[in-house]
Amino acid sequence: MPESTTIRPQPKLFSRSGLFRRKSFEGPDEAGPGGLPRTMGLWQLVSLSLGGLVGAGVFSLAGVVANQQAGPGVMISFLIAIIASSAAALCYAEFAGLIPRAGSAYTYSYAALGEIAGWLIGWDLLLEYTAIVAVVAIAVSGYLSYVVEQIGLDLPSWMLGAPGTGPGHRVDLFAALLCLLLAFVLSRGSKQSARFETALVVIKLAIVALVVVAGAFHISAGNFSPFLPYGIGGAVAGAATTFFAVYGYDAMTAAAEESVEAKRLLPKAIIVSLAIAAVIYLLVSIVLVGMQRYDQIDVHSPFSSALAAVGLAGLGTVVAVGGILGITTSAFANMLAVSRIWFAMSRDGLLPRYFARTHPRRRVPTRVIWPVGIGSAVIAGFLPIKEAADLTNIGILAAFIVVSIAVVVLRRTRPDLPRSFRTPWVPFVPLVGVAFAVWLIANLDALTWLRFAAWMVLGLVVYALFGFRNSAENPERKEA
């Protein structure tokens, strides 16, 4: 009689032990001795969020959208984007108080909807946040080029922009180098990085206040007509682009493990920072198109050129210098976010665990930070700002849809979980967030969809070949 053998049952693909296995809500918030140190209080979290929220949207994208898509209707573009972002922000606030771990939307969707949803969102955000860093770096480069021009230096055209953005342009060298510089700062440690970010946010808000106050005295009512030169469709399309500017709180939640009293402070930081940003964007858009006709706005340095147009050229140069420092905070916040998401995915086994190790002394994931810095430098050097911005938006909007749905699902499947913050009017508010996100995605162009689809197909291949088998939640792996 042949010797009997025990056949270990294989997990079904579409089961709780297959594609829909879930990350536990319970357990430690850190990765043990190699985890991320908790050093950030409320105002450091708010600063990190504002670093992502108030940046290129003020100093660059507002001008791009006004000039090319919405005209004075850029105000409507920002209003639509803020409403959509607010609905999603309330959903993020609930999850931030419930699961204060690194990873943001990746971790939330993994715990609520299952591994395949978590993987897709995490993979999506790796590209989107890296591209956001590049977008902001391009915006900084535009202001830096303006300052260089004002002081009389004549730089070779090949280094001043991505191919196709101007005569003789080959690479945006300033933008690429900034990405590498931020990777260096981020690799020095979380406490030092937080201090750097907070200082630059203070400078940035002071510059924004200066622009609004000075510009308000030079608003011309005639510049608001025609209010919608590209039609209401232009304003909606502009909202899909400006949405990039109003979701910096998402980047902040990716650093949840570095917050003290995370369950209490993270939801509060999200709401406070978004409220501040909403006021800033509406005021800034009014002043910008009020000072200068939309079709005369310089898309590379809109506020500096607008102030120069009303006789405040000296102030325009000051704003350009402040803009260089201020919008750098947005790139910094998003580079921190993508490094923490990559770190969390590697810690969960979905990506190689090599990247889940932190520096022994600085306790930051340097093995992730440098690849992100190099990747963002390549995008910043060779893609125009609008193409890079649209690339980021489709992915973040997809993440917002998943997080909003996850709140509704989790209210039904796990009503017992202790929530330090509860999204009001569920399911109405999450569904509003989903509806706005779907609407905004529909206004992105076909090329953006194609790039996004190609990236997601690549992600499914990586998951099938590596992530599914090596996941920390794979029961076969645990028994091995």
- CATH number, domain with residue 263: 1.20.1740.10
Q: Which domain holds residue 371?
A: 39-470
Retrieve residue 194's tokens.
Answer: 């937080």
Spatial separation of the C-alpha atoms in residues 306 and 478, rounded to whole Å: 61
Of 306, 114, 327, nearest to 220 (Cα)? 306
Please state, in angstroms and as integers, the Cα–Cα distance from residue 232 to each residue in 121, 407, 437, following that order: 31, 32, 18
Q: Please provide the DSSP assignment of 111-169 as one string.
A: HHH-HHHHHHHHHHHHHHHHHHHHHHHHHHHHHHHHHHHHTT----GGGBS-TTSSTT-
Query: Is 400 part of a structural domain of the chain?
Result: yes
In a domain, 387, yes or no: yes
How far is the C-alpha of 208 from the C-alpha of 283, rounded, in Å?
Answer: 10
One-character DSSP codes across 436-456:
HHHHHHHTS-HHHHHHHHHHH
Smallest CA-to-CA distance from 330 within 76, 59, 39, 100 is with 59
Whether the CB-CB separation of 208 and 214 falls below 8 Å is answered with: no
As for how many domains the chain has, the answer is: 1
Q: What is the pLDDT at residue 229?
A: 94
- Whether the link from the prior residue into 427 is cis, omega within 30° of 0, is yes
| Number of separate helices (H) and strands (E) present in the chain | 20, 0
* Helix, strand, or coil (residue 172): strand
The answer to whether residue 57 sits within a structural domain is yes
Q: Is residue 147 part of a domain?
A: yes
In angstroms, how far apart are the furthest CA atoms of the chain?
99
Contact 417, 98 (CB under 8 A): yes
Contact 461, 404 (CB under 8 A): no
Per-residue pLDDT, 138: 85
Instruction: Give alpha helix (H) positions in 243-327.
Output: 248-253, 262-291, 302-309, 313-326
pLDDT at 29: 47
Beta strands in 160-216 (DSSP E): none
In a domain, 16, yes or no: no
pLDDT of residue 244: 65
The rounded distance, in Å, linking the Cα atoms of 167 and 157 is 7
- pLDDT value for 9: 47
Give residue 57's pLDDT. Answer: 67
CA 238 to CA 245: how far, in whole Å?
A: 11
282 assigned to some structural domain: yes
DSSP 323-362: HHHHTHHHHHHHHHHHHHHHHHHHHTTSS-GGGGPPPTTT
Burial tier of 212 (Cβ tally within 10 Å: 0-12, 13-18, 19+): middle
**For residue 479, is it within any domain?**
no
- Return d(Cα 389, Cα 396) in angstroms, integer: 11
- Please give the distance of CA 48 from its chain centroid, rounded to a whole number: 11
pLDDT 10s digit of each residue in the chain, 480 long? Answer: 444 434 444 445 555 557 889 887 665 444 444 567 777 888 888 888 888 788 666 777 788 899 999 999 999 999 988 888 899 899 999 998 888 887 888 999 998 999 999 999 999 999 888 888 888 888 788 777 777 777 778 778 888 777 877 787 888 888 899 999 999 989 887 777 778 888 888 888 888 888 889 889 999 999 999 999 999 989 988 887 787 678 778 778 887 888 888 888 889 999 999 999 889 988 989 999 999 999 999 887 788 788 888 888 778 777 777 767 777 888 888 899 899 999 999 999 999 999 998 888 878 889 999 999 999 999 888 877 776 666 677 888 888 899 999 999 999 988 888 888 999 999 999 998 898 888 878 877 788 888 889 999 999 999 999 999 999 888 776 544
Q: Looking at the DSSP assignment, which residues form a beta bridge with residue 172?
A: 160
Let me know: does 100 contact 106? Beta carbons within 8 Å. no
Question: CA 128 from chain center: how many Å?
Answer: 7
Which residues make beta-bridge pairs with 160? 172
Q: 279, 277, 315, 308: which is closest to 291 by C-alpha? A: 308
Query: Which two structure tokens, joined as six digits, stand for 133?
Result: 């860093």
Contacts of 310 (CB under 8 A, 6+ apart): 215, 218, 291, 292
